[in-house]
């Protein structure tokens, strides 16, 4: 489902369906530690790390196959060698979804299935619903709310509140990929679902889009 490459430590930590995820200390052999444990998960959905404290990570997924056991997420403070299960889940959560960790490792932001995004400042023990985001769209085959709405939001306070940075005329075909540039404040990269390649700047946020998820390009636009 995805992965992160820390600036130090292992070259890769992956998260995947059916196998939960792994810490890859070497890329030429199968991970000696096997898949993530304590807690294990049936499928992993997302993983993130604190880039200023790369030993701090968080992951979310499903466990077990009936998707009933919770909390369905965990944090690590030793680069993914060991994990501590979250103490709870956001209100209304059905697990899975997307996870983000602030650069300093102080905040974990989780947008779980069927619930509004929430942040935690105590390693997942408790969660507070983030302000400024719409309610999730519940559909039979479930899709993340941010794909269904084609709306993009920015937070400047560690995930406590958000403001929308696009409008209904600039939806960019939705996106499977969105990430911020850690070197340039306000720059965001999008990998849109459509074939168009619009480039725009939205309220201090630079957007670069690509024809496909494999062709991610960046562009600074004139102010």
Q: Please give the average pLDDT of every successive group of 10 residues along the chain, which has 223 residues.
A: 86 88 90 87 91 94 71 94 94 89 94 92 96 76 47 85 85 69 72 50 40 33 30
pLDDT at 64 (0 to 100):
64
Please report, for the chain, the start and end positions of each structural domain, with discontinuous segments joined by +.
2-134
Q: Helices marked H in the chain — which ranges?
A: 145-149
Question: Which single residue is written with the structure tokens 């062709």?
Answer: 215
pLDDT at 133 (0 to 100):
87
pLDDT at 194 (0 to 100):
54
pLDDT digits (tens, 9 = 90+) for 3-58: 888 989 999 999 888 888 999 998 888 888 888 888 888 889 999 999 999 999 99
pLDDT at 222 (0 to 100):
30
Sequence-separated (6 or more) residues with CB below 8 Å from residue 201: 207, 221, 223
Task: Return left, alpha or beta for 186; rule: phi > 0 is left, psi -120 to 50 is alpha, else beta.
Answer: left
pLDDT at 42 (0 to 100):
85
Could you list the beta-strand ranges (E) of the chain: 2-4, 12-16, 20-24, 43-50, 53-62, 73-76, 84-85, 98-101, 108-111, 118-120, 128-129, 153-154, 163-164, 175-180, 187-192, 199-202, 205-208
Q: What's the CATH code, domain 2-134?
A: 2.130.10.10
DSSP structural state of residue 81: S
The answer to pTM > 0.95 is: no
Taken in order 40, 125, 147, 170, is the CA torsion positive or negative? negative
Distance, CA of 36 to CA of 80 (rounded, Å):
8
Distance, CA of 149 to CA of 168 (rounded, Å):
9
pLDDT at 19 (0 to 100):
83
Instruction: Give phi and psi for 151, each to the nearest 5.
Output: -115, 140
């Amino acid at each position: 489902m995805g992965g992160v490459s820390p600036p130090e430590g292992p070259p890769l930590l992956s998260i995947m369906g059916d196998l939960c995820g792994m810490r890859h200390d070497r890329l030429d052999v199968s991970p000696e530690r096997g898949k993530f444990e304590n807690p294990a998960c049936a499928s992993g959905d997302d993983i993130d790390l604190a880039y200023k404290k790369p030993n701090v990570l968080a992951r979310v997924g499903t466990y077990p196959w009936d998707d009933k056991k919770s909390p369905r997420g965990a944090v690590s403070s030793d680069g993914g060698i060991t994990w501590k299960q979250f103490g709870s889940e956001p209100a209304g959560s059905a697990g899975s979804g997307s996870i983000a960790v602030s650069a300093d490792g102080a905040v974990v932001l989780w947008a779980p299935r069927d619930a509004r995004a929430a942040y935690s400042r105590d390693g997942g023990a408790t969660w507070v619903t983030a302000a400024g985001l719409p309610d999730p769209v519940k559909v039979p085959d479930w899709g993340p709310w941010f794909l269904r709405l084609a709306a993009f939001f920015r937070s400047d306070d560690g995930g406590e509140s958000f403001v929308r940075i696009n409008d209904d005329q600039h939806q960019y075909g939705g996106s499977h990929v969105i990430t911020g540039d850690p070197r340039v404040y306000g720059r965001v990269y999008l990998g849109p679902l459509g074939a168009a390649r619009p480039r725009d700047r939205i309220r201090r946020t630079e957007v670069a889009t690509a024809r496909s998820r494999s062709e991610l390009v960046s562009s600074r636009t004139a102010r």
